[in-house]
Chain A
């Protein structure tokens, strides 16, 4: 206890079982369907009786979301955990906050932990703001007397006094978020675990969150923070852990961690084969549907992450069960918290992707990916052009967008997500001395 270590993680691992289904599993004869159905029920029933986990599919594969991770955290340290999607960040936080148990290894924690994996956990739409403060506070680990003591402060922080006795289902999303964050901000644990909370809300709200977390950190508490917002991570944290494919890649100062991560993300990702953003494993549709979405660079090299302003190709695979000359393929992009940024659709006058029965793909080529670093969600679908949707997969995949040089100040789209190709020019009018005095600023022309 003399070295004052509050969290010690030793050889931590977390295993999940994932099922695969043979691709050729499409039955024609009723006999086969019945036989396979009976077999499935039998297998599930034996699993049930043996208390084994329940996995769909013919073959089961072990998947280590976290493997052999060890580190120690001293009291008062503020640690940023960075890594790509699926690197194991959230799994790590879930184990540390006791939501799920480890498959191997050991974690020792000294002190009271509060975890903030989401703002507004447990908010019930039917309950009023006042009632939800108590509910949410209790879920985050505050005692009733503690909430009562801080109640006025929470309400003041959230700026919703007038609507305190209105059910939160009538709140605007902004009010909802402010209230949710106000409760979380008044937690006073010894160890705070925060996941991606900063990814939601407008920039004003994000600033408030960052301010609050830095004041918690300043008060000598231990904070573990996961965020895609490298800017806030670098300004808040002193130490960084980089996770990749469930393993601890680097444990160093935050600046080293960020540069290792960004170079790794921007260069290495182009070589990974895992460029499949979405797969429909069910094959259960009778109409046409999207089977998979892949991502490539301009050179048709597989890509998993995007760098702002580079060329990118989305390849959308479709299976046509019926020929639709007027069918179109749709791709849309949105921010995790907010509306659609863009929506593209093929034009059947130029391209008929669903003209023939069978498997086809269409490529959507974006010459310069126009979004700031951060996380985005893409949706894909098929439609009868101008009539209605045939298949729609909302938020089919999350894509990470990085900076070219990993410059942290640019990350997290603080002032809007769009990159608009533009150029500033300047010229001056030839002016006489008198007019220069009366109008001292040169006129600039913006193109």
Chain B
């Protein structure tokens, strides 16, 4: 918490000088809000946190049947199809949860925004923590799946945290942008479920991005989740799974662009949130 002799100047149109330090000062509130989101999420449900496992697991079964068995798409090398699908579902579920929950987070916490001050960015950011916890639980399911299919990952799995960070950044950028827009224009509340549904099919979740024709892959990678999912597969599946480097760099650039856009738009509108929410 800020200490005794700190001076605060409030002026019209003046941007916060110690913006990021201020966020750091409020880290305990961040932790508590994140904890609240986790604690509240599965209250008064019968199976509780198992809901977090159910969703990707069922998707995995459906995708394996539809894309693997019926459409007979090829997996990456000799990797079992369910594992390939599940490794794609992990970052996708993380992405769609953070974007969906993050986008509604400010509106859902309108009572706080209007009554107390804190750096507003910690609200959407704290929803990411809840999504990360679900991600960790799903990771355990993946390990179980790997034991079941007797599949050993290579050394590349050590790089997973890097790709995880990329996945989180790829989700936070749009989440910040949309949640700030959502304060003013509630239209975005209806756009999000649509994007999440559509994105599941245009991202290489149920299939390998290797099935995309070579001359399309560069443009396909404008979807940042292509780079993220390819990266996840590259480090978990090992062996034959390859990263298409130009496309991956495009994805990183798109992620960076959305982060910049999200943070700058959020900061520009942040001060008016209480007046508009």
The answer to whether B1 touches A144 (Cβ under 8 A) is no
Chain B residue with the shortest CB-CB distance to A94:
B274
The answer to whether A109 touches B7 (Cβ under 8 A) is yes
The answer to whether A101 touches B184 (Cβ under 8 A) is no
The answer to whether A51 touches B10 (Cβ under 8 A) is no
Instruction: Indicate which residue in B39, B44, B115 contacts A117 across the interface (CB closer than 8 Å).
Output: B115
* Distance in Å: Cβ of A80 to nearest Cβ of chain B: 21
The answer to whether B11 touches A139 (Cβ under 8 A) is no
Among B37-92, those with CB < 8 Å from A are: 39-40, 43-44
Q: Does A110 contact B (CB under 8 A)?
A: yes
Instruction: Indicate which residue in A95, A122, A167 contacts B10 across the interface (CB closer than 8 Å).
Output: A95
Among B100-120, those with CB < 8 Å from A are: 111-118
The total of chain B residues at the interface (CB under 8 A) is 39
The answer to whether B28 touches A139 (Cβ under 8 A) is no
List B contacts of A94 (CB < 8 A). 274
* Distance in Å: Cβ of A107 to nearest Cβ of chain B: 4
Q: Does A224 contact B (CB under 8 A)?
A: no
The total of chain A residues at the interface (CB under 8 A) is 45
Chain B residue with the shortest CB-CB distance to A144:
B28
Instruction: Indicate which residue in A99, A107, A139 contacts B29 across the interface (CB closer than 8 Å).
Output: A139
Task: Flag the segment in B131-139, B152-160, B254-262, B264-272 that touches A.
Answer: B264-272
The answer to whether A110 touches B7 (Cβ under 8 A) is yes
The answer to whether A121 touches B111 (Cβ under 8 A) is yes
The answer to whether B268 touches A140 (Cβ under 8 A) is no
* Distance in Å: Cβ of A84 to nearest Cβ of chain B: 21
List A contacts of B116 (CB < 8 A). 97, 99, 115, 117, 121-122, 139-140
* Distance in Å: Cβ of B166 to nearest Cβ of chain A: 29
Interface centre among A99, A104, A112 (most CB of B within 10 A): A99
The answer to whether B40 touches A127 (Cβ under 8 A) is yes
List B contacts of A139 (CB < 8 A). 29, 112, 116, 118
List A contacts of B274 (CB < 8 A). 94, 99-100
Q: Does A131 contact B (CB under 8 A)?
A: yes
The answer to whether B10 touches A102 (Cβ under 8 A) is yes
Determine the distance from Cα of A192 to Cα of B175 in the docked complex, in whole angstroms. Answer: 34
The answer to whether B12 touches A53 (Cβ under 8 A) is no
Q: Does A111 contact B (CB under 8 A)?
A: yes
The answer to whether B275 touches A16 (Cβ under 8 A) is yes
The answer to whether A112 touches B40 (Cβ under 8 A) is no
Instruction: Indicate which residue in A115, A122, A138 contacts B117 across the interface (CB closer than 8 Å).
Output: A115
The answer to whether A127 touches B117 (Cβ under 8 A) is no
Determine the distance from Cα of A131 to Cα of B43 in the docked complex, in whole angstroms. Answer: 13
Q: Does A134 contact B (CB under 8 A)?
A: yes
Other CB < 8 Å A-B pairs besides A102-B11, A105-B11, A131-B39, 8 of them? A102-B10, A109-B10, A110-B5, A110-B8, A122-B112, A127-B39, A134-B32, A139-B112
Which A residues fall within an 8 A CB radius of B?
Answer: 16, 44, 48, 51, 53-54, 94-95, 97-113, 115, 117-118, 121-122, 124, 126-127, 131, 134-135, 138-144, 167, 190
Which B residues fall within an 8 A CB radius of A?
Answer: 1-12, 28-29, 32-33, 36, 39-40, 43-44, 111-118, 181, 184-185, 268-269, 271-272, 274-276
